[in-house]
């Protein structure tokens, strides 16, 4: 029988109605007690907070705990609030790379105790997936769907939606029942790598037309969320060049959900890249780009090393 560790961090799945609205309360052990699962499960309550209050420190602690107990279990399930779950999954994908064991995030749009809650199904599905001997890597299981943890975003805040997440065209989305029915699937290959830290010195600046560039003094990397295929407005070129001259790494992203950046397709991108060194996110989500930049900044020494780490798929280093 497969042995899993289910780690509770809070979120809607563990919420009850308090004086000021929904607040995390139920421990993960009580969540597990409400469902039937076909495997040996241990639980651990690492946090019990609203995911809005999550920070890189929480995800570092989560990654360290999984590393400490990695050899004890066949897989891991993490209950987490949906608001920052995509950031959490992307961060864990950077901190625990090429995992030969499944590390599965799940949660719910309604509390476990609510009428017609999606929590029992999501938690049960996550455990069923994590207990499958073919599963590996950082994944997100929600509404009967398995998402690549690196390429998912929360796209709907409504509690009535059954599918609050979307995945970019770089990800690998799969229905859980189809995965379970397959005779075989992709096999894990390579050594698992663990990392300790995420930098706090990465900042996101979302452009609106005519906006100037305001960046904190401690910024070491800036993700510039531009338009379309990506580019730098002419009126911002001097400010971007000033940043790069000071040693700040500038990464061009897009506000579009699909298609990614193609910095050299238009003059506004190609010329900007000639004026100053720019990186681009390609088809990364903002969540993954932020996590990857934080990870690369924390573990690199100089621009060339940062560039290599940021532009290479984390499972392919």
Mind telling me the catalytic residues? 12
Instruction: Report the Cα 227 to chain-centroid distance in Å.
Output: 22
User: Is 104:76 a contact under the CB 8 Å cutoff?
Assistant: yes
As a whole number of angstroms, the distance between CA 27 and CA 14 comes to: 7
User: Is 221:300 a contact under the CB 8 Å cutoff?
Assistant: no
User: Is 4:40 a contact under the CB 8 Å cutoff?
Assistant: yes
Q: What is the DSSP letter of 262?
A: -
Q: What is the DSSP letter of 275?
A: H
As a whole number of angstroms, the distance between CA 5 and CA 75 comes to: 7
As a whole number of angstroms, the distance between CA 175 and CA 286 comes to: 24
As a whole number of angstroms, the distance between CA 78 and CA 5 comes to: 8
What residues does 147 pair with on adjacent strands? 140
């Amino acid at each position: 029988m497969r042995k899993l560790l289910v780690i509770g961090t809070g979120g809607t799945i563990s919420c009850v109605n308090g004086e000021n609205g929904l607040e995390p309360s139920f421990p993960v052990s009580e969540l597990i007690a409400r469902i039937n699962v076909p495997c040996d499960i241990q639980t651990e309550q690492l946090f019990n907070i609203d995911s809005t209050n999550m920070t890189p420190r929480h995800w570092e602690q989560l990654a360290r705990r999984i590393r400490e107990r990695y050899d004890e279990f066949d897989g891991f399930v993490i209950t987490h609030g949906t608001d920052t779950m995509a950031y959490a999954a992307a961060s864990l994908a950077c901190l625990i790379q090429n995992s030969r064991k499944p590390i599965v995030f799940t949660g719910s749009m309604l509390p476990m105790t609510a009428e017609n809650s999606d929590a029992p199904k999501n938690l049960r599905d996550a455990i069923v997936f994590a207990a499958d001997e073919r599963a590996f890597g950082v994944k997100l299981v929600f509404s009967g769907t398995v998402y690549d943890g690196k390429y998912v975003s929360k796209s709907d805040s409504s509690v009535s939606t059954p599918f609050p997440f979307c995945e970019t065209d770089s990800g690998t989305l799969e229905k859980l029942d189809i995965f379970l029915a397959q005779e075989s699937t992709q096999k894990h290959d390579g050594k698992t790598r663990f990392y300790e830290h995420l930098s706090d010195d990465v900042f996101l600046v979302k452009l609106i037309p005519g906006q100037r560039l305001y960046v904190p003094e401690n910024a070491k990397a800036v993700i510039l969320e531009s338009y379309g295929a990506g580019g730098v407005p002419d009126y911002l070129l001097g400010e971007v060049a000033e940043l790069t001259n000071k040693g700040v790494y500038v990464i061009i992203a897009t506000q579009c959900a699909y298609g990614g950046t193609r910095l050299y397709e238009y003059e506004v991108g190609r010329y900007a890249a000639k004026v100053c060194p720019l990186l681009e996110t390609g088809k990364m989500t903002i969540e993954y780009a932020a996590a990857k930049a934080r990870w690369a900044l924390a573990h690199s020494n100089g621009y060339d090393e940062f560039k290599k780490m940021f532009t290479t798929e984390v499972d392919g280093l």
